[in-house]
Structure 1
């Protein structure tokens, strides 16, 4: 069966950036990881497929080869078979110019462990005040049986191919070139007696529990890096990092805009007309808001320093309260009679001065019809 296109596997465009590739791989890995799909062979194969696609496309040289030749780039020794072959064209040109001018060329040591992404959802109060959360992540962790060495007896033999240097040098025409040793993966040493638990890989699949401290003031889209908490690397290499992406849930009262907060404050028509003091919520408790007489619906009031303390500058935002005049409902007979008496006072031209917006609207309507019929 022919192999699927690597870009199709990850669900990205052919011009996807490194960051796009990394995000796509994280999504794929989280969805198909064997720890999340125990016994599901299809998910296991999908996970391997995603990993193979990412390992190829995340390497700039291999990606160039793949874009030019597809899967054929890695068949028949073209792109990195065993023995004294070469990894890819990028390595060749790097080694050529590196040896001519005395640089290291394209020789690479062993790669560190992969980075891991985790999405953490927080309530607004948790994001504003900061919190410590316990999370569980499926990952490749250091094998405890062999302490990550991959060796059952703790012994490593010198690689016979590169003589412990981690690199092999070979002649290509008049040029002397070198690359990471394909036998030991650039480590210079090999496992002679593999550990039974990790099969000599030095790492095993497990779910890791971590305590993550979220600083006060984080916002939706912020990212926290935990160095060394990603996947364990091959024996002798550093682990990757864990990136925690923050997602803040919608709040029933407040909407956040940077360090500022916004909310709506409902008031009665009598409070709007006569003025009053109302209690409004803040993140630190209720405060009093003075409503002046003749306040119109939509009027915005600013409470300085009642927003969010920035995680970066430590400055405090403001709280903006937008008042909304509510129409009374479920009226008693007495209330209805009082309102009818009140409405009866709005008669003649004198009523216009009590409703400035309505008067402006009516003047506009009158002018509109005059223009239409003129």
Structure 2
């Protein structure tokens, strides 16, 4: 399938300036971003198409090559790989994707930065917030586009092509038999020079600011999950695309529940009489209390499973289960009457007849006797 014209993709005229391109890209990104259109393959494809179009048209050298040769310049390596040729631009794309993503936008061998740096943010959530989802405002210290010069770095809007590198951002020199190239020392690899720098950003096109963002956390997230907000990272230098913001989720420990994937676990204390005689008790869940039938002769550690009372998965949307482990509590702070009754009750557990009432204790005692018999024989 043939590609659409990049100007058509962004909906701008062929003589559109940097500001018009940026506005068109942001409008397109907001409309088709995958986070706003979960599961929509068509929207994801449109988002990638917009991003590809902006990356080419926002770069002066790539745009010039594209205007001359169209998509073929990047698909077939026209220009022979020399400076300013499309083949050279292709190599820049390859290295820029690798090193730019790792180091926040740096290009190869002094080539001008393609995009701003990515930003990381750790968001702490309670278990309830992680399970149900939440929308939170966060403050991010970042480099944002200078409003005074619209990111150009120039006080009067005039940007000139660097005469040293010819706008390529690199200079070539000979060292022995080797021909080498490095970032242009005159323009710092930008390919452009500014004779009248902006007073607010000092020609950088970016200023330090604290940005407030509203982040929507989907229901079911867990420790280690990461949410990407495209274009919310640092502004790129000289009007290039911004980086992304990555929000890493950390869920605090809960007083009652322990999470294991989409399942929840909790300990439920019960009295001695409830464990021996059986009872119906109420146990907590994330949706409120429910009844749990504890059968007679229940021992400490018995695990009860409540289906679909866990966490609804952020991926499969299927809920996990809640596992309740009962713990038989030893009574404390006994009254004189309670102590007397308990002593009478305990006195009934004597002789051989007591074995049938405490099978685990009897098995343990028999094991200990066998152990000492073997040790002394």
TM-score normalised according to structure 2 size: 0.69
The corresponding residue for 1:302 is: 305
Question: How many angstroms does 1:189 deviate by?
Answer: 2.0
The root-mean-square deviation of aligned C-alpha atoms, in Å, is 2.1
- Are 1:204 and 2:207 an aligned pair? yes
Runs in 1 of length 4+ with deviation above 3 angstroms?
Answer: 105-109, 165-182
Query: In structure 2, what is the Cα distance between the partners aligned to 1:344 and 1:166?
Result: 94
The corresponding residue for 1:112 is: 115
Stretch of structure 1 that moved more, 177-186 or 349-358: 177-186
Name stretches of at least 5 consecutive residues in structure 1 with no aligned partner: 1-96
The corresponding residue for 2:326 is: 323
The corresponding residue for 2:273 is: 270
Secondary structure class of the residue paired with 1:192: coil
Matches within 5 A, 1:42-57: none
Secondary structure class of the residue paired with 1:204: strand
Stretch of structure 1 that moved more, 289-298 or 161-170: 161-170
Question: How many angstroms does 1:171 deviate by?
Answer: 4.9
- Are 1:290 and 2:293 an aligned pair? yes
The corresponding residue for 1:259 is: 262
The corresponding residue for 2:38 is: none
Query: In structure 2, what is the Cα distance between the partners aligned to 1:355 and 1:173?
Result: 92
Question: How many angstroms does 1:358 deviate by?
Answer: 0.4
Stretch of structure 1 that moved more, 156-165 or 189-198: 156-165
Stretch of structure 1 that moved more, 257-266 or 165-174: 165-174
Gap change, CA 1:230 and 1:308, over 3 Å in 2: same
Query: In structure 2, what is the Cα distance between the partners aligned to 1:157 and 1:275?
Result: 86
- Are 1:345 and 2:348 an aligned pair? yes
Q: Deviations over 1:306-331 (max 9, x none)?
A: 11111122121111100000011122
Query: In structure 2, what is the Cα distance between the partners aligned to 1:218 and 1:182?
Result: 47
Aligned length: 276
**Contact 2:205 / 2:239 at 8 angstroms: preserved in 1?**
no
**Contact 2:133 / 2:218 at 8 angstroms: preserved in 1?**
yes
- Are 1:249 and 2:252 an aligned pair? yes
Q: Deviations over 1:310-360 (max 9, x none)?
A: 112212111110000001112222222222221122121000000011001
Question: How many angstroms does 1:214 deviate by?
Answer: 0.8
Matches within 5 A, 1:127-138: 127-138=130-141
Secondary structure class of the residue paired with 1:235: helix
Matches within 5 A, 1:67-216: 103-104=87-88, 108-171=111-174, 178-216=181-219
Gap change, CA 1:179 and 1:98, over 3 Å in 2: farther
Name stretches of at least 5 consecutive residues in structure 2 with no aligned partner: 1-79, 92-107
Secondary structure class of the residue paired with 2:239: coil
